[in-house]
Amino acid sequence: MVRLSIARAKSVTMEMPEKYAELALKNKSEKKSKNEVTPFLKEKIMRTLTWREYSVNDVKISKYTKIENNILYIDEELAGRAVNINPIVKKVTLRVIKPGERNVFVNSIMDIIPVAAKVEGKIGEGVTHFLRGMVVFLTGTDEEGRQISEFGSSHGILSEKVAFGMPGTPGNREIILNIDVVIEKGTGMERRGPLAAHQVCDWILDHIRQELKKLPPQEAIYVQEYKDVRREGRPKVLIVKELGGQGAMHEKIIMPSEPGGVRGGKSIIDLGNVPVILSPNEVRDGGIHSVT
């Protein structure tokens, strides 16, 4: 038995028989290997995204665009003016579908888009305002009444044509703003047709985003901070999303100016379909818009 207690010392030399030293060292190395199983987690924060959610419980087609007392008003004239954005789009119709009214006919569903807007910074960092309680359904046909779809069409009774409650679809309580477009005949199977429909839809949403940006932070019903972190020493994992990039409804817009928007982004086709890296925050913040 060896006992040693030192209160204050500058340089201490200890001598002991070899077998004791071996024993002491052995115990030490065992402890080290135990530590290696659960090393201290080093997290490095790369960037932060502040996410503020605002709720709406009604959507009304009105004379102006505004968000007031949890009601979203949309200017009915936007539909008429939207056709000036791209000559391929001939007609735009706005319609509100309430949660209990889903037994209605809809044209082929081209995309489901949440409404969110950048208040500070670019996609993936800064502050984003998100509208909870409603989503946008972009639907459409061409001038001859042909559904804009490539491989199977989702036109029909809304309640039968959507699997509600999936990651990519709204829940049962959400209000649907249906933006229906009519595009030039025959362009539905070309790249420019569906793209024009998405551009027009994005232009209308930009008006709502302008209003969403004005809402004060204290009115948010939910706030979260998303952090891009790297965890040193953990197995490195890469997520790969293989997305459509063949044109004519097989297209994605990468890193637009507004969350889930079109404007300012680059098409995955124009990027040559080669892999491009996005951070988790950039994906959460709507860095991928689906034209598919």
Partner 1 sequence: MGIGPSTKETTLHHMNDPMVEIVRNDKSLDLVGIAVVGSPQDNLEKFYVAKRLGILAEALGVDGVLIYAEGFGNQHIDFAAHIEELGKRGIPAVGLTFAGNGLVVENEYMEDIIDLDKAGEGMETEIVGQNCVTKKDVIKSIKILKKKMKQKGR
Site for partner 1 in 211-230 (CB under 8 A): 228-230
Q: Is 257 in the site for partner 1 (CB under 8 A)?
A: no
Is the Cα torsion angle 217, 218, 220, 223 positive or negative in sign?
positive
> Cα separation of 99 and 250, whole Å?
30
R_g (Cα) of the chain, nearest Å: 28
Q: Is 33 in the site for partner 1 (CB under 8 A)?
A: no
Q: Is 15 in the site for partner 1 (CB under 8 A)?
A: no
Nearer to partner 1 by Cβ, of 216 and 275: the residue is 275
Shortest CB 104 distance to partner 1, Å: 15
Q: Is 37 in the site for partner 1 (CB under 8 A)?
A: no
Q: Is 152 in the site for partner 1 (CB under 8 A)?
A: yes
* Residues 44-73 contacting partner 1, CB under 8 A: none
Residue window 91-120: x/- pattern of binding to partner 1, with contact defined by CB under 8 A: -----------------xx-xxxx-x----
- Asked if 140 and 180 touch (Cβ cutoff 8 Å), the reply is yes
Nearer to partner 1 by Cβ, of 104 and 276: the residue is 276
Among 99, 121, 126, 244, binds partner 1 (CB under 8 A): 244
Q: Is 127 in the site for partner 1 (CB under 8 A)?
A: no
Q: How far apart are the first and last CA of the chain?
A: 76
Reference 247, options 276, 267, 222; nearest CA is 267
**Angle value at C-alpha 151, between 85 and 202, nearest 5 degrees:** 20
φ, ψ for residue 223, nearest 5 deg: -130, 135
Which one of 16-24, 64-72, 73-81, 277-285 is the stretch in contact with partner 1 (CB under 8 A)? 277-285
CA distances for 85 relative to 73, 200, 203, angstroms: 22, 6, 8
- Asked if 88 and 192 touch (Cβ cutoff 8 Å), the reply is yes
Residue window 155-174: x/- pattern of binding to partner 1, with contact defined by CB under 8 A: -----xxxx--xxxxx----
Nearer to partner 1 by Cβ, of 58 and 228: the residue is 228
Shortest CB 246 distance to partner 1, Å: 4
Q: Number of residues interacting with partner 1: please give it, by CB under 8 A.
A: 72
Among 2, 7, 45, 240, binds partner 1 (CB under 8 A): 240
> Cα separation of 126 and 213, whole Å?
13
Reference 204, options 62, 83, 56; nearest CA is 83
